[in-house]
């Protein structure tokens, strides 16, 4: 609930701090005293348009801070978390809005920067404002379905799941039809492309293998002459290895004659062994690096074909094999398309039937809830002196293209104000006084089914008096048992039912006009209600009547 409102430099309000409690709070004052400024200030904190005209003349900025006490599991908590805002358990919610005289504005939620859009979202969970010119809330047909669902505890979860499955099946079928239509237009191209790719038979990784092999063969050409020269120097009859063998044979004859000759023979033998190893490895390398020139030509031709085909299809050479599979699959789906479409169409029809069954169950629940709501609202009409009025919750079928996750129903609250008169939308046929009472009757009927914890009624008793005003006061007091109500009123009968009373008044010091609000004590409250009864001159008779209203 709203516990405090701090206003600084808003229009005629210089500085104002108000504390609120549960129950019914009434705000009274002379016409033009500034009650609308108070509501505008609260609206600013709840995300209303930031108009620099709200800044008091001579001030650089206006500010409003609204404080709310909420349970930790309130919907506001998850909304704040979704928007990256912190709130500790048990901590009050403080929404602050600043508007500068030059037009700029800033918003804060528990001292964390926030957008005006987020303030509006929070506001929908915190405060409901109703008045005889309200074209939102209970009077807006767009919200009637949700109100009825809450009242009737209508569970739309199953229809939402069925709707999602139905729409997904529609999307799959549409995509399949589009693919088949495109494939049919491109059949000749597909067949030619698949034929080309099948003839080429590309393999993943083939380009890299061919490129590496080509580089090796090109290198082999360059080192072939060096290998030939090395072979001549090592293995030829006049090569180094042959000469070492000849030297070894000579040394074998003379080695016994001296130890050094024997050592020399051992060294030459080791050199011959190493040389033979080198000769063997050179032969291996020569065999490995030898190639048929036609192989180089073939690899280069293959590499060219792969790269040319890749450029043609705007893919990498390594992706050609996957592309061939994809195009082949498209041809196969085209060939099998009609059978596939038939299965998808059957699936879509089944999903549509499932949605209609779920939607029909929700419609039946809404129709039953509508009957109950009509009966509850009707019981509120007589006390509010609307005996001739009738109320109807119309549950009608929407056009097929407007069916949604919420079902296929359009819900609208209709009334007939006189016997024999047709039913029509509430806002179109009710007079100002009737409209306020219809709104109150609806709100009382819906009160136990959730909604914002703070309700504000702005002069909904305008145009009524006497017994009707008293009945409105009774209903407001009843509604306040389960919620916090703030009522701007000109009716003494309504004001007398308040649990707290705020007086809004202007004062002028000869230079500046200011609007102030103060909480009234018992005696002050009796005097204010007497003023509301008698006008400018408060009589003893009016005071006595005020006393009777307060006692009642």
Q: Report pLDDT digits (tens) over 410-420.
A: 999 998 888 88
Which long-range contacts (C-beta less than 8 Å, at least 24 apart) are formed by 262-271? 268/244, 271/244
> Which pLDDT band, with edges at 50, 70 and 90, does 479 fall under?
confident
Whether the pLDDT of residue 55 is over 70: the answer is yes
What would the pLDDT profile of 441-475 be if each residue is shown by its tens digit? Answer: 887 788 655 566 788 888 777 767 777 788 888 88
Smallest Cα–Cα separation from 268: which of 249, 282, 290, 287? 249
Site of tokens 């002459």: 225
Question: Rounded CA gap, 29 and 490, in Å?
Answer: 8
Q: What is the pLDDT of residue 134?
A: 54
Q: Are 506 and 34 in contact (CB under 8 A)?
A: yes
Beta bridge partners of 377: none
Model confidence band, residue 163 (pLDDT cutoffs 50, 70, 90): very high
Of 103-112, 264-273, 453-462, the one with minimum mean pLDDT is 453-462
pLDDT computed for residue 276 by the predictor: 83
Instruction: Give me the pLDDT at residue 265, please.
Output: 83
The total of other beta-carbon atoms located within 10 Å of residue 253's CB is: 9
Tell whether the model's pLDDT for residue 297 goes beyond 90: no
**352 pLDDT higher than 70:** yes
Confidence at 338, pLDDT banded by 50, 70, 90: low
**Distances, alpha carbon 478 to alpha carbons 23, 125, 444, in Å:** 9, 21, 8
Q: What pLDDT does 368 receive?
A: 96
pLDDT of residue 373: 94
- Lowest pLDDT segment from 25-29, 46-50, 260-264, 335-339: 335-339
Question: Worst-scoring range by mean pLDDT, 132-136, 314-318, 343-347?
Answer: 132-136
Provide mean pLDDT across the span 64-89. Answer: 87
Residues 6+ away with beta carbon under 8 Å from 512: none
Nearest CA to 269 out of 283, 286, 254, 249 is that of 249
Three-state DSSP state, 517: strand
- The model's confidence at residue 237, banded by pLDDT at 50, 70 and 90, is low
pLDDT attached to residue 135: 46
Q: With contact defined as beta carbons under 8 Å apart, do 5 and 20 qualify?
A: yes
- Determine contact, residues 68/93, Cβ cutoff 8 Å: yes
| Mean pLDDT within 225-246 | 75
Q: What is the rounded end-to-end Cα distance, in angstroms, of the chain?
A: 27
User: What is the average pLDDT score of the chain?
Assistant: 85
Please report the pLDDT score of residue 35 as a whole number: 77
Higher pLDDT, 285 or 318: 318
pLDDT category of residue 137 using cuts at 50, 70 and 90: low
Pairing between strand 24-28 and 484-488? Answer: parallel
- Given strand 454-458, what is the order of strands in its sheet? 127-131, 454-458, 484-488, 24-28, 500-508, 513-519
Question: How many CB atoms neighbour CB 134 within 10 A?
Answer: 19
pLDDT digits (tens, 9 = 90+) for 15-40: 989 999 889 999 988 877 677 788 88
| Beta partners for residue 391, in sequence order | 415
Query: Range with the lowest mean pLDDT among 76-85, 175-184, 280-289?
Result: 280-289
At residue 429, the pLDDT reads: 67
For 218, the token pair is 């090109």
Higher pLDDT, 133 or 358: 358
Q: Read off the pLDDT of residues 89-100 as tens digits, 9 standing for 90 and up.
A: 888 999 999 999
Overall pTM > 0.85: no
Average pLDDT rounded to a whole number, residues 160-167: 96
């Amino acid at each position: 609930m709203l516990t405090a409102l701090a206003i600084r430099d808003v229009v005629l309000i210089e500085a104002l701090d108000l504390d609120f409690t549960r129950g019914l709070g009434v705000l009274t004052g002379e016409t033009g005293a500034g009650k609308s400024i108070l509501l505008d200030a609260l609206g600013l904190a709840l995300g209303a348009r930031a108009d620099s005209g709200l800044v008091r003349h001579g001030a650089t900025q206006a500010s409003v801070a609204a404080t709310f006490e909420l349970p930790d599991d309130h919907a506001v908590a998850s909304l704040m978390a979704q928007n990256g805002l912190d709130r500790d358990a048990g901590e009050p919610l403080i929404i602050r809005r600043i508007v500068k005289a030059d037009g700029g504005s800033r918003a804060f939620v528990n001292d964390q920067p926030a957008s005006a859009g987020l303030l509006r979202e929070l506001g929908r969970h915190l405060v409901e404002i109703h008045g005889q010119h309200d074209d939102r809330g209970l009077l807006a047909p767009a919200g009637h379905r949700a109100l009825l669902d809450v009242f009737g505890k209508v569970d739309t979860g199953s229809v939402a799941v069925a709707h999602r499955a139905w729409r997904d099946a529609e999307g799959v079928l549409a995509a399949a039809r589009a693919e088949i239509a495109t494939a049919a237009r491109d059949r000749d191209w597909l067949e030619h492309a698949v034929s080309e790719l099948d003839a080429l038979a590309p393999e993943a990784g083939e380009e890299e293998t061919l490129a590496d092999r080509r580089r090796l063969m090109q290198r082999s050409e360059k080192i072939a002459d060096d290998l030939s020269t090395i072979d001549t120097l090592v293995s030829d009859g006049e090569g180094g290895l042959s000469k070492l063998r000849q030297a070894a044979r000579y040394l074998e004859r003379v080695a016994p004659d001296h130890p050094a000759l024997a050592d020399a023979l051992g060294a030459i033998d080791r050199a011959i062994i190493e040389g033979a190893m080198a000769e063997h490895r050179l032969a291996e390398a020569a065999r490995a690096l030898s190639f048929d020139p036609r192989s180089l030509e073939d690899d280069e031709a293959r590499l060219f074909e792969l790269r040319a085909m890749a450029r043609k299809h705007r893919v990498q050479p390594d992706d050609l094999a996957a592309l061939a599979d994809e195009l082949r699959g498209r041809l196969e789906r085209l060939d099998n398309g009609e059978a596939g479409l038939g299965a998808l169409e059957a699936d879509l029809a089944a999903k549509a039937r499932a949605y209609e069954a779920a939607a029909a169950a929700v419609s039946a629940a809404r129709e039953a809830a509508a009957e109950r709501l009509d009966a509850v609202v009707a019981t509120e009409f007589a006390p509010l002196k609307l005996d001739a009025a009738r109320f109807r919750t119309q549950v009608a079928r929407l056009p097929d293209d407007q069916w949604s996750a919420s079902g296929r129903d359009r819900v609208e609250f209709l009334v007939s104000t006189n016997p024999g008169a047709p039913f029509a939308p509430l806002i179109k046929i009710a007079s100002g006084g009737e409209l306020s009472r219809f709104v109150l009757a609806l709100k009382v009927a819906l009160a136990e089914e959730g909604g914002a914890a703070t309700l504000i009624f702005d002069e909904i008793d305008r145009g009524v008096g006497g017994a009707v005003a008293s009945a409105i006061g009774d209903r407001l007091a009843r509604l306040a048992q389960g919620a916090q109500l703030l009522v701007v009123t000109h009716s003494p009968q309504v004001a007398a039912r308040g649990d707290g009373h705020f007086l809004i008044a202007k004062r002028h010091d000869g230079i500046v006009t200011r609007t102030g609000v103060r909480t009234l004590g018992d005696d002050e409250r009796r005097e204010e209600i007497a003023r509301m009864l008698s006008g400018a001159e408060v009589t003893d008779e009016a005071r006595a009547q005020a006393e009777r209203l307060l006692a009642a």
